[in-house]
Amino acid sequence: MALTLAEAAKLSNDVVLQGVVETVVKESPILDRLPFIELVGNSLKYNRESTQGGAAFYAVGDAWTEGTPTFTQVSTGLTILGGDADVDRYLASTRNNVQDLEAAVIQLKARDVAQAFEQAFVTGDSSLDPKQFDGLNTLLLGARTTSMGVNGASLTLAKLDELVDLVRPGRPDLLLLSKRTRRSLMGLVRGAGSAFLETHRDDLGRYVEYWNGIPLAVSDFVGDAETVGTSTDCSSVYALQLGEGRLAGLQGPGGLQVERVGELETKDAVRWRVKWYVGLALFSELSCARLNGVRP
């Protein structure tokens, strides 16, 4: 069963781990929503759906034709993501509350882990860095992609609708875009006098924009310097369905972990480690789509 990090943290009695998960979820709009499947083993072999099998109506006595969806067998391994955080013993001994200092140091490391995951989620390419997992730019290469044009163009509401319609069956759970593209979208909506952009508070009290009922997630790692044709100032928008059978994270037993390594020999400090055996799986090419060539 796929669970988000926040849901999984509720099942843990580890207060430090719960604090780390809370930090990670707050830092990344992806990790706030992406469900994770726990693996026993270091990789997952699965069939990725490419096309639907379809169905038809038949008259009495008609010969039935078989329609099988097409699949591609894919193997995705877990990668090792994490970092160490040292708490200086002098600072710990001269501070009134050691727990506050340790919590602050671990929180900063958890933020680093969240940002590293989000970057790989968008731009990860195992062919360039075998230590990483493949991200959206690699998983969606040559799949369900539409473009603003040969050399890119400014975003239009019609193209955004086209992107949403590429995802099926159903609607996307999330639209992932850059800050620049969000500004363009908000300008388009204000200029058109449209009521399809709404803002609501989420469970953490943050304001989240919704386009036509679909939440917008803004990532610093969706670049604004992609090359499309002769243009080098392009960006992309991703429409994503999240969950089992769609796009889901993978993680090892126990998920995100925080452990006290102990006292160091080479310096007067105590080391904590935040680690995560993690990956990403696209179970169906139909569940995600990309709009590229979005210029300012």
Q: Yes or no: say if 178 and 223 are a contact pair by the CB < 8 Å rule.
A: yes
Burial grade of 41 (CB within 10 A; 0-12, 13-18, 19 or more): exposed
> What tokens appear for 227 in the block?
């090359």
Per-residue confidence (pLDDT) for residue 53, from 0 to 100 = 73
Q: Which CATH class is domain 5-50+69-295?
A: alpha beta
d(CA 15, CA 137): 36
**Quick one: pLDDT at residue 1?**
62
- Report the amino acid identity of residue 265: E
Residue count (the chain): 296
Q: What is the pLDDT of residue 195?
A: 58
Residue showing tokens 């995100």: 256
Residues of the chain with pLDDT under 70: 1, 6-17, 19, 95-99, 142-143, 194-196, 203-204
Domain boundaries, the chain: 5-50+69-295
Cis peptide bond prior to 169, omega within 30° of 0:
yes
Report how far Cα 276 is from the mean position of its chain's Cα atoms.
15
Measured CA distances, 14 to 121, 129, 235 (Å): 27, 33, 40
Average pLDDT, the chain: 85
Radius of gyration of the chain (CA): 22
Residue 97: the pLDDT is: 63
Give the whole-angstrom CA distance, residue 151 versus residue 142. 17
Beta bridge partner(s), residue 291: 146, 237
Neighbouring C-beta atoms of residue 37, cutoff 10 Å = 17
CA atoms within 13 A on the CB side of 191: 8
Contacts 24+ apart (CB under 8 A), 121-127: 121/30, 121/34, 121/221, 121/280, 122/176, 122/219, 122/221, 122/222, 123/221, 123/223, 124/280
Task: Kindly report the backbone phi and psi dihedral angles of residue 137, in degrees, each rounded to the nearest multiple of 5, phi listed first.
Answer: -60, -30
For residues 275 and 41, what is the distance between their CA atoms, to the nearest angstrom?
16
